[in-house]
Structure 1
Amino acid sequence: MTTWNTETISDVIRVAHLAADAAKSETLKFFRGTNLSTENKDSGGFDPVTAADRAAEQAIRSVLAAERPQDGILGEEFGTSEGETGLTWVLDPIDGTRGYISGTPTWGTLISVADESEPKFGLIDQPYIGERFLGGLGVSSMTGPLGEKPLGTRETDALTDATLLTTFPEVGTDLERRAFEAVDRQVKLTRYGMDCYGYALLAAGQVDLVIEAGLQAYDIQAPIAVIEGAGGIVTNWEGQPAHEGGRVVAAANETLHAQALALVRSVVDG
């Protein structure tokens, strides 16, 4: 098992910042450019990948090769590299590529570190708007144009007072959409299209819930660490750990999480 001593914690956080900085240089180089080529990874739909996605992940991997070569890596674009330390860096170089190619600013880079059991540290970087969110290993903070401040989730205890986010209005399958809509009908406000920024806003105390489906491990592990570090809770739709992805309910607190989970379960269970 991994030993999380002070030296390891400090080094992981240091390298995460270096990796995010390296990715930022690549993503901003391409963002809103006129010659960015896009490929579709999904023959049945639209799942774009760009040169920026690949360049950013390569930049992160170069940092890890230089700074922590014995750790494992799981990245969206270049797969898995086995390590020897029990630690795995989980990477999504551009979370929100559809937004990225559309010129919207809320795409981000996700970097997390997991041990043999779960994600322990996460970083959500929003390069264009200049915000960075950290959580786990005793850290819970953000930096941005207004400076640095601690993260902390809301204490909202009723769905009727809650703000709900998700990326796609259709959410997933027809069943998953109907489960989402069961919560949507109860909340005060629903907004769409945030990608990873929605999870960051939850950790920052700006919104109360994020509900999504069809996620991969690299989509959710950094948000899990950031949200849990800020006092929130993230599970799958069965109320179990969500670090492998799938269907996710992220909530500001346990009270709100229980209410949202009960509604989605009522639809999924029939």
Structure 2
Amino acid sequence: MTDPSGTVADRLQSAFEQLTRAERQLADSILENYPVSGLGTITTVAAGAQVSTPTVARMVQKLGYKGFPEFQAALRHELEAKITGPIDKFDTWAEQAPVGHILNRFAEAVNSNIRQTLAQVDTACFDQSCVLLADPARAVYVVGGRITRSLADYFFLHMQVIRPNVTHIQSISNAWPHYLLDIKEGDVVVVFDIRRYENSTLKLAEMARERGAQIVLFTDQWRSPVAKFSEHVFSSRIVVPSAWDSLVAPMVLLETLIAEVQEQSWGETRPRMEALEEMFDRTRFFRKFT
């Protein structure tokens, strides 16, 4: 159910999981330059999102509006309030840069990505994933792709400290099927896959699922095909004014998950961290200022 008292953006975010793929594409298009992107004719709004005009009509009704004119009236009301209200005026993140500077445009996009990503998180799904990852009876396997392996590396490094029995699968190598030999029913495979989705990662997830593993997927707003094999899916917004997608929003979500797993595993994690620090002291890997 959407909140009739909320903004159009609130309604879009609340209804996002119930939208069809085309409607999600439309929602993302509107949110990308909100609220201006929704103020054209129904034909131009549809064309901007590369969807049909009936898709626009159906989605606005799902949001609780009687039709496209009422939907646009709500957007115009929000835009008017945003222009005239001093609190809502744009505050630049980099004070020495013009409003249109890349520093401000990029910061605004990243902050919007984080807000929308966290607003759409299913807290029950998040909590269940943390319980799975903190369970010492379950082995944890981590896999990323060409770009997302940086997230996989980061997650693996922390999980390796938090608990034992964590394995990093190198999906870009043709040796990844070897890892499947040790995956058993109930184990957890954490997959990172954003567009452009990788065939090897999809096949790995499919085969791991066949062996009874539970898949936790970190993906983008369009969702990787791996989602059909996943019990727990976290979708993050990744679009920024760049040729590259942004990993900031999924990183925020990932760090929050790591913090909660650490909290749940602290009885086992603390002695592991103490032992690790002792090893660092003996090896003198890190410089100490005393």
| TM-score, normalised with respect to structure 1 | 0.30
Looking at CA atoms only, which structure, 1 or 2, has the larger radius of gyration?
A: 2
| TM-score, normalised with respect to structure 2 | 0.29
Q: Which structure has more helix as a fraction of its residues?
A: 2
Q: Which structure has more strand as a fraction of its residues?
A: 1
